[in-house]
Structure 1
Amino acid sequence: MDELLEILEDIKPNIDFKTCTGLIDEGYLDSFDILSIVSELNDAFEIEISPVDIVPDNFNSAQALWNMVERLRDN
Structure 2
Amino acid sequence: MDSLMNILTELDSSVAWEKEEALIDDRILDSFGVISLVAELEDSFSIEIEAAEMIPENFNSVEAMRKMIVKLQEK
Q: Settle same-fold status: TM greater than 0.5.
A: yes
Distance of 1:49 and 1:12 partners within structure 2: 21
What SS class does the counterpart of residue 24 from structure 1 fall into? Answer: coil
Does 1:60 find its partner at 2:60?
yes
Distance of 2:5 and 2:49 partners within structure 1: 17
Identity of aligned residues (%): 39
Q: Which runs of 5+ in 1 are unaligned?
A: none
Distance of 2:6 and 2:63 partners within structure 1: 13
What SS class does the counterpart of residue 36 from structure 1 fall into? Answer: helix
Question: CA offset at residue 2 of structure 1?
Answer: 1.0
Q: Which runs of 5+ in 2 are unaligned?
A: none
Question: CA offset at residue 28 of structure 1?
Answer: 0.1
Amino acid in the other structure paired with 2:6: E
Question: CA offset at residue 12 of structure 1?
Answer: 1.2
Amino acid in the other structure paired with 1:6: N
**TM-score normalised according to structure 1 size:** 0.97
- The answer for the alignment partner of 2:4 in structure 1 is 4
**TM-score normalised according to structure 2 size:** 0.97
- The answer for the alignment partner of 2:37 in structure 1 is 37
- The answer for the alignment partner of 1:73 in structure 2 is 73
Cα RMSD (Å): 0.5
For these two proteins, the number of residue pairs brought into alignment is: 75
Off by >6 Å, runs of 4+ in structure 1: none
